[in-house]
Chain A
Amino acid sequence: MDKKKVMRSSSSDDLKGFEEFLDHVDHDSSVDKVNKNIGGESLTFLHHDNTRLKKVAALVAQKLPVARHHEQGPKIIEQQRHINAQLKNDLFRILDKKASPLQKTLSGLWNGFFFDNK
């Protein structure tokens, strides 16, 4: 602790004679830069960027080549179309029955329009 105090207080004295040399040194940053980085924000940012890069690398190097060579999209679409066609068939079969709600409503409308007028 004492040594540090001595060094800080005497730093201006130590630099005597080096002023001309120090004029050429870029004063803008190093001390400020270190001070701003005390919170470790940059390290967190770099870790986040590392995670992002890992994910992109995995996507580009592993997932996309697999997706490209073993594409399942068209097969799934075909399968789903088949399922939908079956569901539609079931739906029409039920709606086609005489006692179905659709037939009842339609006949109600039809009869109401023609027979009530008479």
Chain B
Amino acid sequence: MNLPIYQIINVKSAQLEDIAALLHEDLNLRRPVAYVLKTLNLDEQREVIGVIENWFETHQASWRYPYPVFIVSDYSDAIGHMPVFTEVAHLPRFYNQKDVKVTLKETQVLERNRLLQQEIKNADGHLMAEVVRDYGINHKKIWYLVKEASFYEHLLKKLRVKEDANG
């Protein structure tokens, strides 16, 4: 068993068959993955990002859970939803750990993590993402409405103080 540190995949070809060979259902089940597209030209990089995003969409797989999937490309501004970084060094540091031999104690924790990873994987990632998005949109609306209410309350308070002062 290995630590859940980055699996760096260097994409050297923009051919569909070659990319398809790099994608599979359990890709991000045990560890985060980073596709490095830097060896391709810009057009190919954009194309490959689209192919990878489509693959997750059509295979009902989530690139968020259990571990995230990142893309390292010269396209720093994300074209789609997947997170894109310009350098491998810019990837989140949390998973940047030394690849060491695991001890018995660590193996036990890894075993526990395996169950959780499978549990997360079994959930419908797309449906969950949709629920989270809707939840977020509603909360944003509530936030704006409460802000508006707070402004009215502030005005009312000031006006009432003035009214009382004038008798």
Contact = CB atoms under 8 A, between A and B. Distances in A.
Interface of A: 29-30, 33-34, 36-37, 41-43, 45-50, 53-54, 56-57, 59-61, 64, 67-68, 71, 73-74, 76-77, 80-81, 83-84, 87-88, 90-91, 94-95, 99-101
B128 A60 contact: yes
B98 A41 contact: yes
Contacts, number: 119
A65 to B, nearest CB: 8
B3 interface: yes
Contacts of A30: 101
A88 B100 contact: no
B152 A87 contact: yes
Contact of B116 (A48, A54, A64, A80): A54
| Interface residues of B, dominant DSSP | helix
| Interface residues of A, dominant DSSP | helix
A53 B120 contact: yes
Nearest to B116: A53
Nearest to A54: B116
- Range of interface residues on chain B? 35 or more
Contacts of A33: 99-101
Contact of B119 (A41, A45, A61, A87): A61
A91 B155 CA distance: 8
- A48, A56, A61, A84: which has the most chain B beta carbons within 10 Å? A56
B97 A99 contact: no
Contact of A42 (B97, B128, B135, B163): B97
A43 B98 contact: no
A43 B97 CA distance: 11
B146 A80 contact: yes
A30 B102 CA distance: 10
Interface stretch (B9-17, B41-49, B83-91, B103-111): B103-111
A47 to B, nearest CB: 6
B78 interface: no
